[in-house]
Amino acid sequence: MNTPEELKYTNSDEWLLLDGKTATLGVTDYAQDQLSDVVFVEIAVAPGEVVKKHAHVATIESVKAAADVNIPISGKVIEINESLSNTPELVNSDPFTKAWMVKFEIADPSELSSLMDAKAYLDYCSTRSH
């Protein structure tokens, strides 16, 4: 399972790339593998929108299941990845680079303490049944 060390992770299988006061959100390799072939992605927020911790920001549908993507920390949306509406399969083929979902300004840096590093996330995933 690909788990880049520079990212932070949630127990609901989202990743965050932190860059100063901004963050980029997507779903993990584990999540895309569990979903199988992704056929639809809907981003439910827009640039300028303020979102609270755990708010719903996207829906991913696959041939197997549907999953909600929630933002793990509060922030203000800067940009959304509009290319996912036309190429949802990027979630499977490139979950960490081309399939990012939302970029946002971090509202409360103290909320970052709830996120896991790569090792903790790998340990967490190893305790789950597939």
Question: Looking at residue 130, what is its pLDDT?
Answer: 56
54 within some domain? yes
| H/E run at residue 23 | strand 22-27
Task: Please tell me the distance from the alpha carbon of residue 115 to that of residue 101, in angstroms, as a whole number.
Answer: 18
Q: How many domains does the chain have?
A: 1
129 within some domain? no
Task: Please tell me the distance from the alpha carbon of residue 15 to that of residue 1, in angstroms, as a whole number.
Answer: 14
27 within some domain? yes
40 within some domain? yes
Q: For the CA atoms of the chain, what is the radius of gyration?
A: 14
99 within some domain? yes
Task: Please tell me the distance from the alpha carbon of residue 93 to that of residue 2, in angstroms, as a whole number.
Answer: 12
1 within some domain? no
Tokens representing residue 104 in the block: 């946002």
pTM of the entire predicted model:
0.93
CATH number for the domain that contains residue 24: 2.40.50.100
Note the residue count of the chain.
130
Task: Please tell me the distance from the alpha carbon of residue 105 to that of residue 10, in angstroms, as a whole number.
Answer: 18
124 within some domain? no
35 within some domain? yes
Q: What tens-digit pLDDT sequence spans the chain (130 residues)?
A: 899 999 999 999 999 999 999 999 999 999 999 999 999 999 999 999 999 999 999 999 999 899 999 999 999 999 999 999 999 999 999 999 999 999 999 999 999 999 999 999 999 999 986 5
Q: What residues have CB less than 8 Å from 42, skipping those under 6 apart?
A: 58, 59, 85
Residue-number span of the structural domain to which 15 is assigned: 8-107
